[in-house]
Structure 1
Amino acid sequence: MKTFRLLATSLLVALSMGFTSCGDDELDVTPAPPINNIEDESTQRDKMFDEYIGDYSNITCRFCQAGESSILFTGLKNKHLWFAEYETATRGIKFEWTDIEETDTIQKVYKGYGEYETIKLDNIFPLFHKKTTAGNIVTLALNGYRQNIFTFNGRTKRNQLQSDPNKNKVAYSWFQESVFIGNCCYSSEGDTVYVAMKQPEFDSHGMPAETELISYEEGIRFLTGYLEDVSAENISISKYNYKDAKSVWVTRIVPPFDVTSDAKRVLTLTGNTTNIWNYKCEVTFYDGTKKDFTFKINIDNGKIVTDEVKVTGISINEQSVSLKQGETFQLIATVQPDNATNKKVIWSSSNEAVASVNQDGLITANSVGEANITVTTEDSGFSTTSIVIVTKKQDDYTSLIIGKWKMTSGDAVATHVTYKGDGTFEYTSAEVSSYKEVGKYKIDGNKLYEMYSDEDEWAISDILLLNSMTLSVQELEADGVTPSGKKFSYQRVE
């Protein structure tokens, strides 16, 4: 990600400085001699445009500035704001930005209170540039008036020019593809992420001062004595919430040796792949003597990690689990030893269509089949697996059968049957009004058991189909297995 970082507080200061490459990721403004103090400025400018760009007839409001190893060119290219950086050694272009909207040379600057000033644009200078996935974020000085422009997916957002320098501030790179402008955090598309209680502090490179960002709102800050009531002889680490402008926690770092107040301290982050961050502190004393020490800190709670205890294994509460569709089961993983420093685990399923698992170990049975649920330690990668077998969910025939049904096929005197919630039934006939038989029933699996009030044995039928509207059964012999050949179908009537 390439960014311009502002070192000037006004365009007049910025114009007296040149651009130079600082590594692969950023450009800084550094002092540079004028292109030529003898030749006419406009002649020399056009000469540089001709030498590096060639035909520049479509570029107006031209400006260029030489740095140590590159030259910055700016202007209106085909009526679009434009700037580009070229290598002086190879004459090759390093990068280029062109606005997607046209800009007129006549601009209105808002002075406040409904009043405007008309200016003729003759000077364009980039103060900040950040490449994003969908476009770019830039801050430009147009005749010294700042304008922030967001381009993304062929669209753009920008603020109007204002004479009050406190209204349009320079963008600063923030977490991932966001930026900070004033006290507001913006997304790469110019939408407000949040408004902070106060503007963050940035260093001379335009980066958050002494901070490693971990989210849009929070960062891990290291302080060297003048903030957070930390003595000059010590340093501190804190998790800081930039939205609320306050520390979540502050931990004082006490060196293992005496450090005088005039000693210089340099803190370097050496590892942050987990929630345990590693730091090295190098101390240089006034007489030139150097000492260093290392420490580890848990960024979740701010506790110093003195001795890291490595994970040696992991176990699980069930090696095999049988579930029906829709059921859940809680797996519990135990990391050994109990005092391991990093006890975080990662849950995964070999077939989420059959059984899925969340990061708390809760299994959900989704469809019939078999899946392996594996839990792996973040530290050292130990793992264990539980086999999950999912079977078809048994239909809830007991609740589905309750109601009145009309026979649609089958040979019987009864034309209707009513199954009641208290476990009793009633057969009636619409053709023979005096016909009525009652009894009790029960359901076991897919079998329907009925016992008439004047009998003492169960009549057994297989439930062939039962849903909210249709019931189909097949009568069985007394053994409860052999079909009798009689089948009955019903349609729900109430």
Structure 2
Amino acid sequence: MKSIRLLATSLLVALGMGVSSCGDDTLDSEPITTLPTEPSIFEKMDKAFAEYIGDYSNITCRYYQEGESSILFTGLKNKHLWFAEYGTATKGIRFEWTDIEETDTIQKVYKGYGEYETIKLNNILPLFHKKTTVGNIVTLALNGYLRQNIFTFNGKTKRNQLQSDHSKNKTAYSWFQESVFIGNCCYSNEGDTIYVANQPPQFDSQGMPVDTELISYEEGIRFRTGYFEGVSAENISISRYNYKDAKSVWVTRIVPPFDVTSEAKRVLTLTGNTTNIWNYKCEVTFYDGTKKDFTFKINIDNGKIVTDEVKVTGISINEQSVSLKQGEAFQLIATVQPDNANNKKVIWSSSNEVVASVNQDGLVTANSAGEANITVITEDGGFSTTAIVTVTKKQDNYTSLIVGKWKLTSGDANATHVTYKSDGTFECTSTENPLYNEVGKYKIDGNKLYEMYSDEEEWIISDILLLNSMTLSVQELEADGVTPSGKKFAYQRVK
């Protein structure tokens, strides 16, 4: 691309001299009074065509221009717009482009307001060439002032209308991926309009947006030195710019870590952009020749300066499942990875504080029966983990409470007194029948009282309804240990 632009620029100078090989046109000139001693430009051109191309009889409107290491030939080849570049060292062809459609030497140029003028095509100059995956994009200068933009793709072609209005004659410039910008319009590699910009971009001598790294068809990351968008002349600004809307998404001021005078030269170089964190190096040259540099990182999503802090990568917890009784507490401990992370702050929360609550130190308190998720999340990065806490109802120590002598106050039974002993046995007696005496063993499981008389083999199961220091009430259950049998007994402690 660079060689074509340089050669085309030189050719425009030749055009200004009126060189043409397209037929009967003659140049106005003073009468020749002396014979020329050097070969004419036409002779040189014919010699070059013959030397590099051979038979060029099928090429009209011929032009050529020599560069430092290459030579460019242009013209109408078999009535098709054509140009080719050859290397001067090997005389081998470097690349060649031929239009798909035929072009007549008589062209109609739109003057505006429905009017046209007819011109004769005299010369063809390539100003831009971009090879794409589907074809080529070319800008040609016709007769020096007309711009013809041609898109070829998959054996098809699309071109703009020739216009005499110079403001509408625009050269294509490379854009994001295979697109191009022509004037204020972004085109795909097939010549379709992607969008129209509110303001056309500025391009440098290489045909790329000035001080910009494109990240999409519409946006690019731009940097500026000197006063720009409210940033003082001593500093640098980085901005994310939307070319469609012609405005900045964000602008960030870059303050050097040392004093920089306004006349100092600043060169900003992008050193890494494989992620959304872009790395830059700024080289500062002062008027006396002193040089300093500094580096910085910026997040292109939000324009924030990125420091070299160690980020959190994960979190773990000492227990994933905890079982507690009502009123108990348990210390959960969270470990943030890596150990040298700058921000190890975490936030604790409970999904059901009625069941279990947690403070910001990770201490869990069991409040009522049920289940709750205790979650801890890192402030940096939002990494989280959860412990499941199951809370059961607190039960009294029925075994110790039941030991002692109880007097039956209600219920259908022979015994008037029952003595529960600490060795897990009991004795029943009756004041009405001194001879009545039965003994057995008992056990307590939760709020269930199991009794088995010495002359029987099955447990009598009762549900403890109330048990404290003075009162005991139970209700007998069926053999399944769940279904009430309807018999209830009440006792009062004797001693």
What band does the TM-score fall into relative to the shorter chain?
0.5 to 0.7
**Cα distance change, pair 60–216 in 1 and its aligned pair in 2 (3 A):** same
> What does residue 155 of structure 1 align with?
156
Matched ranges for 1:413-432 at <5 A = none
> What does residue 227 of structure 1 align with?
228
Return the alpha-carbon distance in structure 1 between the equivalents of residues 281 and 244 of structure 2: 29
- 1:443-482 deviations in Å (ceiling 9; x for gaps): xxxxxxxxxxxxxxxxxxxxxxxxxxxxxxxxxxxxxxxx
Return the letter of the residue paired with 1:163: S
> What does residue 218 of structure 1 align with?
219
Shift of 1:310: 5.0
Return the alpha-carbon distance in structure 2 between the equivalents of residues 3 and 190 of structure 1: 24
Shift of 1:185: 0.5
Instruction: Give the alignment's Cα RMSD to 1 decimal.
Output: 3.0
Say if 2:8 and 2:126, in contact at 8 Å, map to a contact too.
no
Say if 2:80 and 2:98, in contact at 8 Å, map to a contact too.
yes
Shift of 1:50: 0.9
Aligned residues between the structures: 307
> What does residue 52 of structure 2 align with?
52
> What does residue 297 of structure 1 align with?
298
The answer to whether structure 1 residue 253 and structure 2 residue 254 are counterparts is yes
Matched ranges for 1:31-430 at <5 A = 38-144=38-144, 145-310=146-311, 312=313, 336=337
Return the alpha-carbon distance in structure 2 between the equivalents of residues 236 and 117 of structure 1: 49
- 1:180-213 deviations in Å (ceiling 9; x for gaps): 1111100001111001110011112111000000
**Cα distance change, pair 300–247 in 1 and its aligned pair in 2 (3 A):** same
Shift of 1:67: 1.1
**Cα distance change, pair 86–256 in 1 and its aligned pair in 2 (3 A):** same
> What does residue 414 of structure 1 align with?
none
Say if 1:269 and 1:277, in contact at 8 Å, map to a contact too.
yes
- 1:203-244 deviations in Å (ceiling 9; x for gaps): 121110000000000000001114212211111100000000
Shift of 1:113: 2.1
Say if 1:11 and 1:141, in contact at 8 Å, map to a contact too.
no
Shift of 1:307: 1.5
- 1:89-108 deviations in Å (ceiling 9; x for gaps): 11111111110111011111
Shift of 1:122: 1.5
Return the letter of the residue paired with 2:204: D
Q: So what's the TM-score if we normalise by structure 2?
A: 0.58
**Cα distance change, pair 50–161 in 1 and its aligned pair in 2 (3 A):** same
**Cα distance change, pair 14–163 in 1 and its aligned pair in 2 (3 A):** farther
**Cα distance change, pair 139–338 in 1 and its aligned pair in 2 (3 A):** farther
Say if 2:11 and 2:65, in contact at 8 Å, map to a contact too.
no
**Cα distance change, pair 248–315 in 1 and its aligned pair in 2 (3 A):** farther
**Cα distance change, pair 340–162 in 1 and its aligned pair in 2 (3 A):** farther
Say if 2:263 and 2:287, in contact at 8 Å, map to a contact too.
yes
Return the letter of the residue paired with 1:208: P
Say if 1:3 and 1:130, in contact at 8 Å, map to a contact too.
no
Q: Which moved more, 1:91-100 or 1:293-302?
A: 91-100
**Cα distance change, pair 46–10 in 1 and its aligned pair in 2 (3 A):** closer
Question: Secondary structure of 2:48's partner?
Answer: helix
Say if 1:100 and 1:154, in contact at 8 Å, map to a contact too.
yes
**Cα distance change, pair 258–80 in 1 and its aligned pair in 2 (3 A):** same
Bigger radius of gyration: 2
Shift of 1:78: 1.0
Return the alpha-carbon distance in structure 2 between the equivalents of residues 213 and 258 of structure 1: 31
Unmatched 5+ stretches in structure 1: 18-35, 320-333, 342-494
Shift of 1:38: 3.4
Return the letter of the residue paired with 2:287: Y
Return the alpha-carbon distance in structure 2 between the equivalents of residues 192 and 251 of structure 1: 32
Return the alpha-carbon distance in structure 1 between the equivalents of residues 248 and 341 of structure 2: 28
**Cα distance change, pair 64–3 in 1 and its aligned pair in 2 (3 A):** closer
Return the alpha-carbon distance in structure 2 between the equivalents of residues 111 and 187 of structure 1: 27
Q: So what's the TM-score if we normalise by structure 1?
A: 0.58
Shift of 1:306: 1.4
Return the alpha-carbon distance in structure 2 between the equivalents of residues 173 and 2 of structure 1: 12
Say if 1:239 and 1:299, in contact at 8 Å, map to a contact too.
yes
**Cα distance change, pair 42–244 in 1 and its aligned pair in 2 (3 A):** same
Return the alpha-carbon distance in structure 2 between the equivalents of residues 66 and 101 of structure 1: 28
Question: Secondary structure of 1:309's partner?
Answer: coil
**Cα distance change, pair 92–339 in 1 and its aligned pair in 2 (3 A):** farther
Return the alpha-carbon distance in structure 2 between the equivalents of residues 53 and 8 of structure 1: 20
Say if 2:7 and 2:65, in contact at 8 Å, map to a contact too.
no
Shift of 1:62: 0.5
Return the alpha-carbon distance in structure 1 between the equivalents of residues 133 and 196 of structure 2: 23
- Percentage of identical aligned residues: 86
